[in-house]
Amino acid sequence: MAYPSQLGLQDASSPIMEELMNFHDHTLMIVFLISSLVLYIITLMLTTKLTHTSTMDAQEVETIWTILPAVILILIALPSLRILYMMDEINNPALTVKTMGHQWYWSYEYTDYEDLCFDSYMVPTSELKPGELRLLEVDNRVVLPMELPIRMLISSEDVLHSWAVPSLGLKTDAIPGRLNQATISSNRPGLFYGQCSEICGSNHSFMPIVLEMVPLKNFENWSLSMI
């Protein structure tokens, strides 16, 4: 999860988030190189009094500054499209969970089980236990098995919401009357925090999401205790 004064992204806990962080660094390096080149050229223009007349009307220069931006855009677009298709693709999910957004809480249903569903509300500040996080703790966590592909079906009962867990690279809109799909796969166990990322009313800030990723055996024991 995030920490105070953090400048970068949260640590990646899923293959998708690792790819997104690599793409972020790749794009940032291109932006840095372009900015440095432009700054260098501006500095030269302001500091030198010499002008080379043959470069002011040269076909070679015009060809370079036309082709170079196209090549840069291709270098950005290709990895971007690859990650986009990776995020949409899911083959043989081990588990399906349906998430419904409400004003202002989330409800979850494990569709592979007969009666495994619950609501998840934020824990008020006055009821927090020592070590729990303000505005991020919930009364019912979403327990999921790690290292398995999980399909999340996300929708809403009332207004627009957005189901987002940054460290897993997840952010999917919850739209009334529409079912959106997201893929979860965690590399490691732990607690992963998120929040509603779409302004949905006066209590928008009080819709936290907590995923508890556990080994498969622990998940089976938890699911049997909940049914």
Beta-ladder partners of 161: 174
Give the pLDDT confidence of 180-226 residue by residue, as tens digits.
999 999 999 999 999 999 998 888 989 999 999 999 999 999 999 88
Please provide the CATH number assigned to the domain covering 93-224: 2.60.40.420
Taking alpha carbons only, the member of 168, 164, 158, 152 closest to residue 101 is 158
Kindly list the domain boundaries of the chain, sorted by start residue.
13-86, 93-224
Give the pLDDT confidence of 49-107 residue by residue, as tens digits.
766 666 566 677 788 888 999 999 999 999 999 999 888 877 789 999 999 999 989 99
Query: To 10 degrees, what angle do helices 59-88 and 15-47 make?
Result: 160
Q: Quote the pTM value.
A: 0.83
CATH class, range 13-86: mainly alpha
